[in-house]
Each structure stands twice: as C-alpha cells, then as structure tokens.
Amino acid sequence: MTDATTFVAPLEGGSVDMTAPFGGGGTLPNPVTTASGCAGYGRELAKFQPLAELGSITTRTVTPQPRSGRATPRMAETPSGLLNGIGLPGVGIAHFVENELAWLAERGARVVVSIAGERVDQFAECAQWLNDGPAVVGLEVNLACPDADNQGLAFARNPATAHDVIQAVREVADPALPVYAKLTPDVASVTDIAKACVRAGADGLSMINTPLGMVIDTDTLRPRLSTTAGGLSGPAIRPIAVRCVYEVHAAMRAGEITTVPITGMGGIRAGLDALEFVLAGASGVAVGTAIFHDPGAPLRVLAELREALAARGFAKLTDAVGHAHQ
C-alpha cells in the first residue's frame, strides 16, 4: 500500500477492531494513552473525557518521596514545540497509592504508573508499592532521570544502567504486571538501549521521552529555563520519535530484539500523527503536549485513528502495526 489509490475497500470507522496488544501478552481495548506528565494523575483530564474510554491513562512519574520539582521558569515555547525543565514534581508513592490510585480505580481507569528514582533500588521500591494496586495494568519505568551513582547521567543513556533498572523492577514487580521501559532518543543507538531493556525483562517499550534542548532569551541574554536545558516535546520531535519506533521495530522484525509491544509518542496531535507511529511499529500511542491546549485530544485522536484505519481498509489496528516495513 503506497498511496491512497491502493486502498481497496474503505470500511466504516466503527467496524475497526481497535484492540491493542499490551506487554506480557495482554491487550487493552484501544491503543490510546496519555503521555506521562501531561495529564497529571488524571483528575483534570476526567473533566473532559471519561477516563475508562481511554485504552489506559499513564500517570506523571511517581518517585519514592514527594518532590517539588525545579525552580521557575521551567517552561518555554519553541517553534512547534515546548521546552520543559519541570523536574518530576509529585506527591510520592505512598500518597499516590492511597489517594490518586484509589480515585482512578473508582473511575474505572486502566492505569499505567510511571515510576522513577535516583538510584536503582528506588525504582524497585516504587514498583513494590504497586503490586496489587487497584486499577494498575502496567508500570512505565522513566529511565530519563539522572543516576545519582553515575554523575547524574540519565539511566536511559547507558545500556548497562538501563538494564540494571529494568532488571531490578522486573524482579520485584508482580509477574502479571507488564513493565515498560521508557527510552530517550539522546543516545548513539536507541536500538542498543532497547535491546538491553528487553534482555533485562522489559515487556514493552515506550518511545520517546523528550530530547534535550535549550532556548536563550535574547533580551536577558540568558537561558530561558532555570535548568538551562530542558526536554523538548510537541510536533517538533515527531519525526525523531517515528524514526526511533521504526528503527527498534525493524530490529525486532530482524530477530535482533525479542518482539515486545511499543507505545509511540512525540508530537501526536491528530489521528494521522498516531497512524504514522502505528505504521512504524507502535501498537500503542500516547498523547502528551497536545493535551495542554486541547484536553479532549486523547479521545479525539482515538476516533480519528479509527477513521484513518477504516479509510485505508484496515479491519484491525494490529493489521497496520509495522505496515511501513513491508
């Protein structure tokens, strides 16, 4: 299938089976989730859409202790993007489980909990809290945070440290709970990091976290963010993200990495953006920055993706996953 003229028989959008493969051999009713950090713990988003209609909701990253995040200014707009140096503010895992998770469970949400720590054992500590947690369908390990034992280099930038974190989490997490490794594109080979994570037991991969960027204010003559550099998100990074998903899915097809589901993210604003990720090899898609100006974006993207698949003659989401490789 190379262009619109090859679409044999468009289908009714409603007839497309949107069931999405999820790590550990499970499925979710549809592929759409929220990108971590872009929908808090779900409370604000629930005002705009029933959370149970999303495939899942991915929480902002939760750490062992509460954190206040970095000093302001911590956000700056860039051409087609957003730069943030927020620094993982959050309530801490105990408060999260007792209050936020319980609230999400009451709404029938399927929750992927993003976890992080400054040391390997802190990731495992968070994972342990989530065993038997109500509504938890998976863990997403945010490997982009700085490793306190490795001069602050992000865990995700080194195959060995990424491996150690995933192994530690996999060892303590409920075996029935899929563990996703969230990868950053700021590496020489994202495939090498993906390989290390899957070897360590990752049941799925989330790609991508924000690449580092920087904005300098030409009036104050200083960096715009208090953190100097920050994570770039939004449509500006979509081609990088699609490339990463494509590259890792290609390695799976070639047998270099055990095949696990990929959740793609980076600048998804509309159904056709999500379709790009699916064609590259993602069976899940996360909507992030788009939520800030359109809080209804996740469900809208789901409806548009369903229509886009139908218009191209795909009866099932899974038929389109990785189609660009054929």
Residue 84 known to bind ligand: yes
Determine whether 145 is an active site residue: yes
**Nearest CB to ligand FMN, comparing residues 283 and 310:** 283
CB of 63 to ligand FMN, least distance (A): 9
Catalytic site residue from 38, 126, 145, 244: 145
Residue 86 known to bind ligand: yes
Residue 208 known to bind ligand: yes
Residue 210 known to bind ligand: yes
**Nearest CB to ligand FMN, comparing residues 45 and 310:** 45
SS (H, E, C) the chain: CCCHHHCCCCCCHHHCECCEEEHHHEEECCCEEECCCCCCCCCCHHHCCCHHHCCCEECCCECCCCECCCCCCCEEEECCEEEECCCCCECCHHHHHHHHHHHHHHCCCCEEEEECCCCHHHHHHHHHHHCCCCCEEEEEEECCCECCCCCCCEHHHCHHHHHHHHHHHHHHCCCCCCEEEEECCCCCCHHHHHHHHHHCCCCEEEECCCCEEECEECCCCEECCCCCEEEEECHHHHHHHHHHHHHHHHHHHCCCCCCCCEEEECCCCCHHHHHHHHHHCCCEEEECCHHHHCCCHHHHHHHHHHHHHHHCCCCEHHHHCCHHHC
CB of 8 to ligand FMN, least distance (A): 32
Residue 266 known to bind ligand: yes
109 near 136, Cβ under 8 Å? no
**Nearest CB to ligand FMN, comparing residues 159 and 266:** 266
**Nearest CB to ligand FMN, comparing residues 185 and 314:** 185
Residue carrying the six token digits 């065993």:
131
Residue 44, amino acid: E
Residue 88 known to bind ligand: yes
In the complex, the residues that contact ligand FMN under the rule CB under 6 A are 35-38, 60-61, 82, 84, 86, 88, 114, 142, 182, 209-210, 233-234, 237, 265-268, 287-289
CB of 56 to ligand FMN, least distance (A): 13
**Nearest CB to ligand FMN, comparing residues 114 and 167:** 114
CB of 314 to ligand FMN, least distance (A): 23
CB of 300 to ligand FMN, least distance (A): 14
Positive or negative torsion for Cα 205, 244, 20, 56? positive
Residue 142 known to bind ligand: yes
Residue carrying the six token digits 């509460």:
66
Residues placed in the known binding site for FMN: 36, 142, 182, 208, 234, 266-267, 288-289
Which residues are designated catalytic?
145
Residue ranges at the known binding site: 36, 84-88, 142, 182, 208-210, 234, 266-267, 288-289
Can you say which residues are annotated as belonging to the binding site for substrate?
Answer: 84-88, 142, 209-210
